Amino acid sequence: MHAQKNLSLSSRMRFALSGLVHGLRSERSLRTQAAAALIVLAVLALLRAPPLWWALVIGSSAAVLAAELFNTAIERLADHLHPELHPQIRIVKDCAAAAVLCCALGAIGVAIALLVEWLHRAP
């Protein structure tokens, strides 16, 4: 069995937080997405949005951030294993970037739906 397989929850959380911190420090797109998520959460608070909207926004924002982190991990691993340009590695990286795009478009859809509902409720 691998030595790091059955570590404590606190050890695994430290690894996860280390990955998040690394991603935030090294990836501008992740910082941008995180800032956008914080802004949208502030807007939810200002609008006094119902809990369902909080769940939708938090879920879609978490999906975008997770996709950005997966994209970063895939890019770093691919660059480490195959530093020179390779058509197959390019496809892998492009697919990972497309996953981020899909999540971001979904999150934008949630934001648009929230805006439409808010505009319809405004007196």
Buried b (16+ CB within 10 A) or exposed e, 63-81: bbbebbbebbebbeebeee
Q: How many CB atoms lie within 10 A of CB 39?
A: 10
Q: How confident is the model at residue 5 (pLDDT cuts 50, 70, 90)?
A: confident
Q: Which of 30, 94, 17 has the alpha carbon at shortest distance from 62?
A: 30
Assess contact for 99 and 70: CB atoms under 8 A: yes
Topology of the domain comprising 9-121: Helix Hairpins (1.10.287)
Residue ranges of domains in the chain: 9-121
pTM for the whole thing?
0.88
Model pLDDT for residues 56-74, shown as the tens digit of each residue: 999 999 999 999 999 999 9
DSSP 8-state assignment for residue 27: -
